[in-house]
Amino acid sequence: MGAQSTGGSFEPNADWTAQAKDNLGVALAAAQTKLGNEVIVAEEPVGQSAQVMADYRALFAVLAQSVITYQFFPGNRLPTKKRKGAFEWTLGPGVAEIAGGSGADYALFLTNDDEYGSTGRKMLQVFAAMGGVSVISGNHKGFAGLVDLRTGDLVWLNADLQMGGDVRTPEGAQKRVSQLLEDFPGSTAPQPAAK
């Protein structure tokens, strides 16, 4: 979480990040009731399992990026992903290790990356537009993925490179979580996309 300076560089903001973490945690707990599943927030692991967790977090990031690049855009699909309705991506069965005997069936990975355009950036945007040049102010990316811990298969992935909801506020965080978990498998009442 942070701001985007006039020149477009990222300015990390510790307070916003802390607020967003709290708000998203609360919003996620509230959204649970609609998911048809019990969601437990993973404790930070120690020792050997910390390395395993770090490995799979990195692997998930690569996998999610591959899905976004090679599956979500039909024109760019790999030949093996072209069959209609096919969604075949996996982290491999070894991922069961990250459950660490907790009895969890699925792992839910959430990522948010927010840069709010500063006042200077917005002014630059206006003036550049007057000159006929488009300047993007702000950057709001997020994705959520669900992995079946028995097989390692990615069962569902939702990615949005222009997310709504100001996660610095509780209401915004709720909107963000409902967007992230839109069409979550097994959810009882799919949330309408409120953008």
Partner 1 sequence: MRAASASFAAACLVGAAATCAHAEPIPTLPPYTAAYQPQGVDERGLWMEFDEFERTLRDSKAVINDPALMAYLRGVVCRTVGSSRCETVRIYVVRDASFNASMAPNGMMVIHSGLLLRSRNEAELAAVLGHEFAHFELRHSLAQFKRRRTAGDIVAWVGVAAVGAYAYGGANTYSVIRNAQSVQTAVIGGLYANGREQERQADLLSMAYLKASPYEPHCFADLWNRQMNEADATARGRKQRSTRYDRVAFFATHPTSLDRATYLRAIASETGKAGDEGQVSFMTAMTAWRPEFLDDQLKLNDFEGTDFLLGELAGAQWTPDLLYARGELYRGRGNPRDLVSAIGFYREALSGNATFAEAYRGIGLAQMRNHDPAGVDALKRYLSLKPDASDRAMISMLVQ
Residues that bind partner 1 (CB under 8 A): 2, 5-9, 11-15, 17, 50-51, 53-55, 57, 120, 124, 127-128, 130-133
Q: Supply the minimum distance, in Å, between the C-beta of residue 142 and partner 1.
A: 17
Three-state secondary structure readout of 51-112? HHHHHHHHHHHHHHHHHHHHCCCHHHCCHHHCCCCCCCCECCHHHHHHHCCCCCCEEEEEEE
Least distance to partner 1, CB of residue 58, Å: 8
Burial class (CB in 10 A: 0-12, 13-18, 19+), 129: exposed
Euclidean distance between CA atoms 58 and 135, whole angstroms: 31
Q: How far is the CB of 77 from partner 1 (least distance, A)?
A: 31
Closest C-alpha among 11, 127, 152, 142 to residue 68? 142
CB closer to partner 1, 62 vs 194: 62
C-beta of 50 vs 194, nearer to partner 1: 50
Residue 168's CB: how many other CB atoms inside 10 A? 18
Q: How far is the CB of 125 from partner 1 (least distance, A)?
A: 10
Residue closer to partner 1 by CB (options 57, 195) is 57
Q: Which lies closer to partner 1 via its Cβ, residue 11 or residue 183?
A: 11
Judged by beta carbon, residue 41 or residue 130, the one nearer partner 1 is: 130
What distances in angstroms separate CA 151 from CA 50, 92, 96, 97, 106, one per listed residue? 21, 7, 8, 11, 10
In the complex, least distance from residue 167 CB atom to partner 1, rounded to whole angstroms: 15
**Residue 124 vs 163, nearer CB to partner 1:** 124
Cβ 83 to partner 1, closest distance in Å? Answer: 35
Q: What is the C-alpha separation between 31 and 38, in angstroms, rounded?
A: 10
